[in-house]
Chain A
Amino acid sequence: GDSVTQMEGPVTLSEEAFLTINCTYTATGYPSLFWYVQYPGEGLQLLLKATKADDKGSNKGFEATYRKETTSFHLEKGSVQVSDSAVYFCALSADDKIIFGKGTRLHILP
């Protein structure tokens, strides 16, 4: 069945470091791809999305490109901030529901 695999955490970086969180997916069709974020004490929020191959989603300095050839949707940010500390979930949509990865906890040190 459809699935999402993302890198295990926690990931700890210093402020202003470059961030990559890897995500790959398995899907029979052509799903939309998402990154969701959960900040401490808050609910899940959509961070960015891409609906077709080669689309780039971006928001708050984060970017991810839908790569069909490598079935990947890696999340990147050029310079992280302490406020980016959160849990990040890669996800895809299939059959009217969302399939999530396990989540990656990100700690940013000042």
Chain B
Amino acid sequence: EAGVTQFPSHSVIEKGQTVTLRCDPISGHDNLYWYRRVMGKEIKFLLHFVKESKQDESGMPNNRFLAERTGGTYSTLKVQPAELEDSGVYFCASSPIPDVQAFFGQGTRLTVV
């Protein structure tokens, strides 16, 4: 069974550009999460989907970030326009039931220059 996959693995963009990160959860997992780790700091929660609905988006830093999960399958996280402080590793995770083990992807390393 395929795990959580994220694309791209690395992205380097200029300040002001747009970047879209993609996450494919484990098939059948209704819960999908986005997290971010800024260099040297803790991994912080961004948002939680249950199927296609946003259950909790309290961690989204500002309105430059837009997450979608159309059809309740894969999810995208768009940053527009990107700022230097958006650099970090973005992790996606999925789980069949909330509060049970979440399976993480390898992360997307985003560098804004």
Q: Would A96 and B48 count as touching, CB distance under 8 A? A: yes
Residue of B nearest to A101 (CB): B42
- Total A-B pairs, Cβ < 8 A: 54
Question: Which of A16-24, A40-48, A64-72, A77-85 forms part of the interface with chain B?
Answer: A40-48
Of residues 21 through 53 on chain B, the ones whose CB sits less than 8 Å from some CB of chain A are 31, 33, 35, 37, 40-45, 48
- Taken together as a complex, chains A and B put the C-alpha atoms of A46 and B91 apart, in Å, by 14
Q: Would A93 and B43 count as touching, CB distance under 8 A? A: no
Q: Would A99 and B45 count as touching, CB distance under 8 A? A: yes
Q: Would B56 and A95 count as touching, CB distance under 8 A? A: yes
Residue of A nearest to B106 (CB): A43
Residue numbers of B with Cβ under 8 A of A are 3-4, 31, 33, 35, 37, 40-45, 48, 55-56, 59, 91, 93, 98-99, 101-107
Q: Would B40 and A102 count as touching, CB distance under 8 A? A: yes
Can you list 16 pairs linking A and B with CB atoms under 8 Å apart?
A42-B106, A43-B4, A43-B91, A43-B104, A43-B105, A44-B107, A46-B102, A96-B99, A97-B45, A97-B48, A97-B56, A99-B45, A100-B43, A100-B44, A102-B40, A102-B42
B10 to chain A, nearest CB (A): 11
- Taken together as a complex, chains A and B put the C-alpha atoms of A23 and B9 apart, in Å, by 30
Interface residue from A89, A95, A98 paired with B102 (Cβ < 8 Å): A98
B111 to chain A, nearest CB (A): 17
Interface residue from A44, A101, A102, A103 paired with B104 (Cβ < 8 Å): A44
Interface residue from A49, A96, A102 paired with B98 (Cβ < 8 Å): A96
Residues of the A chain whose Cβ atoms lie less than 8 Å from the Cβ of B99: 32, 93, 96
